[in-house]
Amino acid sequence: MSGPEFGEAFRARFAELVAWRRDVRRFRPDPVPEEALRKSLALACLSPSVGNSQPWRFVRVSDPERRAAVTASFGRCNAAAAAAYDDARASAYRSLKLAGLREAPVHLAVFCDEATGAGHGLGRATMPEMLRYSVVTAIHTFWLAARSHGLGAGWVSILCPEEVAAALDVPPAWRLIAYLCVGYPAEEHADPELVRHGWQERHETETLFLER
């Protein structure tokens, strides 16, 4: 049995998909089609994982009170983060829109099940963090898959993981890896928002490769 062949046209489209995978903070109120969400999650679950452990756990957060608890955690953490900068950088920080928690029609909390027996510990004795890295691969796959449906995702990391886990009442061994806001972008940009608003430029690709 031969594998699939991916031609130049496919590679060009894939490069376009990767380039347009943006961290979205501004969403339209339009509902997310269930089929698009489910297909994106199904592709995410095809991601590589250490020992084939598949430790990702996706939790859709629909309850208004639970969403409010997550939003409150963001508010506290965001204020603390701003206070940690000096005056000029703090002002720039406060001017940024760093989450679409109130606008996004879909919230997904992504956890790593660190108590999973799947995979029988293969590949984790020397690098136990590989479980969490495996979840990150699933998040990135979901991000690209959602973008292929015209959806955007925003990764909210300015949160207290323990507060989120408590608000969502998940098992103690689950560790929060990402909280994703998902929906149709209110605006489209090829450049990252943090570049557009002067927070941080992208590095030149050549500076990120080393040889030894």
Asked if 26 and 185 touch (Cβ cutoff 8 Å), the reply is yes
> How far is the CA of 73 from the CAs of 56, 80, 106, 196, in angstroms?
23, 11, 18, 27
pLDDT in tens, 104-137: 999 999 999 999 999 999 999 999 999 999 999 9
Task: Delimit the domains of the chain by residue range.
Answer: 25-208
pLDDT in tens, 24-76: 999 999 999 999 999 999 999 999 999 999 999 999 999 999 999 999 999 99
Q: Rounded CA gap, 28 and 21, in Å?
A: 17
Q: Does the pLDDT at position 193 exceed 90?
A: no
Residue that has been written with the tokens 């990702």 in this structure: 56
Q: What integer pLDDT is reported at residue 111 of this predicted model?
A: 98
What homologous superfamily is domain 25-208 in, according to CATH? NADH Oxidase (3.40.109.10)
Amino acid at 205: T
- The proportion of the chain whose per-residue pLDDT surpasses 90, expressed as a percent, equals 91
Q: What integer pLDDT is reported at residue 190 of this predicted model?
A: 84
Q: Please, what is the end-to-end C-alpha distance for the chain in angstroms?
A: 38
Q: What integer pLDDT is reported at residue 1 of this predicted model?
A: 81
What residues are paired with 185 via a beta bridge?
Answer: 27
- Contacts of residue 27, Cβ cutoff 8 Å, sequence gap at least 6: 100, 103, 104, 105, 152, 154, 181, 183, 184, 185, 186
Q: Rounded CA gap, 212 and 110, in Å?
A: 36
